[in-house]
Chain A
Amino acid sequence: MKTTVLLSHARHPVSDRPQLSRLEAQAIALAAEVDEAPSGLHAGRNETGVVAALGHGLTALDRLDLADTTDPLSALAAFLTRQRFDLILAGRRGEGGHETGLLPYRLAAILGLPILADAVAITPGAAVETLVVDQAMAKGARRRVTIRLPAIVTVHPLAPPPRPFAYGPMRRGTIRRHPVDGSANAADLDTAEERPHRLRPKLMRQSAGQAAGANLYVDPTPEEAARLILAYLEANGIRRYGPLNDR
């Protein structure tokens, strides 16, 4: 299964050095489970961050020679149409740019491929040209979808952790540099003003204060206590336990 992982130009939040995004490193670990020689694809001039992907399990890296300020969509679409990958993996939102998370969906629309989000595990399907994708859902649920290849899949942070970094494979890995011809169009959303980021506090995850200390029961019989607890759980919609005896 010919697989590629889309790599963005992530930067470290504190030092601002180029680095490999963690989610994309997790995507590499997923790719290595269905393809013994997965490759990566990066559009941009700076290689220092993304070469680490070779040390995390990629065997080759394709780099499109494109200025960082241009919209990589058309160049990526043209490259992917030429290469005909079976599976294209990506993070939820590319890092370092506008981070809208729309790029995989735009690619899917241009290439006419199906797209699935939030994968935590992928395995080859029973039939040829199929893939079984486990999608992460709320409360630990999973949705197992069998999809026909080729397809685009984005990866969820609950996917297995990245493979450990190894220096040798990074040195041995091949980097293929591809020049991009034609006019590159400007990035979207440039009408809005851009300014330094201001940290804003999140809402406190505090429980509603009125609940505390409302019901206090001193020395009820154990049976009474058990009934109180189950009634509380059901009344607040935590769990339903079906009809309970002697109630």
Chain B
Amino acid sequence: MSRPRRDPRAERQSHDVGATGSRPRYDRSQPLPGRAGVPPIVAPARSGMTTQPQPAKPELRIVDEPAFLVFAVVEAPGGRLSRFDRQVLGAARLLADAGDGGAGVVAIASHSVEGLGEAGADRVLLFTAEAMPGTVAKALRQTVDALSPRHVLFAETGDSADLARRLAIALDEPLLANVEHLTSRQAVRAIRNGRAEIAATPPRLISLGEDRIKPYEAAPCEARALALDTAPHNDDPAILSVEFIPGDPASLALSETDFVVSAGNGVSDFAAFRDLATHLRATPGASRVVCDAGLMPRAAQVGASGTVLSADCYFALGISGAPQHLQGIAGCEHVIAVNTDLHAAMIERAGLAIVQDAQLVMPALLQLLRGGER
């Protein structure tokens, strides 16, 4: 679109060697002087990213005196907002901005989280980490009594779903669970094994189903920290001990993990590949060709006839990117590809594409990871 327009006459003129005589003479072996400085394909050549005008940095959206509050409980494992957390914040923003707006969204997390402002939180309230849902529910109940939010939103998964129910019991209020459709006027959820549905005006306590409400994308909000005077502590007499066991990526199922490193037909050194997967703390996967050859177990196959991933990041080594394979990684946000073929579909799909031999990159990565370990 914004490619500079060619001028054939001027181009021909610039090839003219200026020989005296009746016939004009041209030297076509010389590059065009106007394009001499342009390097060959190395840097962002495709997609015209560089030529587009950069959008101006949006200014911060500040709500000083919120008309009412909407709570959004985020889980954010490892301090990063998951896509589901963003959807919960998006729903909270939707309810807060309804009508005349001016309401504030309070994100409730159990540990500090990055990017809450961009996801739509005006205020942030932190509870101590590692508290059990029962204790957090008590503290949350006190906060709800103190700040009286109009809505409290939860994700219908894990501790959030647990917390939603404990709060509903503590407040003796109904909970609209697993909502499939939410606007400021009505919330809809399925009942009776998906045979019927009920619609209601959004009540105070709502838990959202996954992939139902769009995350917030407009101007970043402030995410100002709120001081909390009630720090929860585990005091449930029935709970004798709590131990947190972090997930081991090597033994995780492909559908459960967040980071997959995957080998295709372009990988021949599988010992190095497995070593790399453990050092990257990633779950190993493979393309169908590799699984058919018996080099990796069938459970490791990624794609239409293998596992459809829900991981955040996918690292493909020597995979061409057949449509059946790309279907399996359609939901991955970040894709890294290493391939010798510049025109492979996987290179096209990747957010970081490296045209290089996988057998050379793997040892280099391993060396870097081994040298850098503390």
Chain A residues in contact with chain B, CB under 8 A?
A: 10-13, 16, 92-93, 95-102, 105-106, 108-109, 113-114, 117-118, 125, 130, 134, 136-148, 151, 158, 188-189, 191-198, 200, 202-203, 205-208, 210-220, 222-223, 225-230, 232-233, 236-239, 241-245
Contact = CB atoms under 8 A, between A and B. Distances in A.
Interface string B20-52: 000000000000000000000111111101000
Given A118-B158, A200-B181, A244-B372, A144 B355 contact: no
B372 to A, nearest CB: 4
Contacts of A228: 352, 354
Nearest to B189: A99
Given A114-B239, A148-B238, A236-B334, A140 B177 contact: no
B333 interface: yes
Given A138-B75, A194-B197, A222-B364, A237 B114 contact: yes
A202 to B, nearest CB: 4
Nearest to A16: B195
20 contacts: A97-B192, A141-B77, A141-B245, A195-B198, A203-B211, A203-B212, A207-B332, A210-B49, A212-B349, A213-B49, A214-B352, A216-B42, A216-B43, A216-B353, A222-B357, A222-B363, A226-B368, A232-B334, A239-B280, A245-B371
The 6 A-B pairs at the shortest CB distance, nearest first, are namely A140-B247, A205-B331, A244-B372, A114-B238, A211-B351, A222-B364
Nearest to B368: A226
A16 B373 CA distance: 57
A211 B365 contact: no
A40 B355 CA distance: 60
B259 interface: yes
Interface residues of B, number: 109
A230 to B, nearest CB: 6
B259 A105 contact: no
Given A13-B194, A237-B114, A141 B247 contact: yes
A200 B181 CA distance: 8
Interface string B148-183: 000000000111011001101100001101101100
B192 to A, nearest CB: 6
A60 to B, nearest CB: 26
B289 interface: no
Contacts of A16: 193, 195
Contacts of A13: 193-194
A216 B169 contact: no
A134 to B, nearest CB: 8
Interface stretch (B95-103, B225-233, B335-343): B335-343
Contacts of A210: 49
A114 B199 contact: no
Given A118-B162, A140-B247, A189-B198, 7 more contacts: A93-B178, A102-B168, A137-B158, A197-B194, A211-B351, A226-B367, A244-B371
Interface stretch (B5-13, B296-304, B308-316): B308-316
A231 to B, nearest CB: 9
Contact of B199 (A195, A202, A205): A195
B284 interface: no
B368 A230 contact: yes
Contact of B46 (A10, A213, A237): A213
Contact of B373 (A97, A194, A242): A242
Interface stretch (B64-72, B117-125, B248-256, B266-274): B248-256
Contact of B239 (A146, A189, A195): A146
A35 B332 CA distance: 42
Contacts of B213: 203
A195 B181 CA distance: 14
Contacts of B145: none
B356 A225 contact: yes
Contacts of B180: 200
Contact of A216 (B46, B247, B371): B46
Nearest to B76: A138
A151 B237 CA distance: 12
A243 B371 CA distance: 9
Given A101-B177, A195-B196, A197-B197, A212 B372 contact: no
A93 B175 CA distance: 13
A190 to B, nearest CB: 9
A16 B290 CA distance: 42
B127 to A, nearest CB: 16
A76 B119 CA distance: 43
B42 A217 contact: yes
A74 to B, nearest CB: 15
Contacts of A130: 240
B49 A214 contact: yes
A148 B165 CA distance: 21
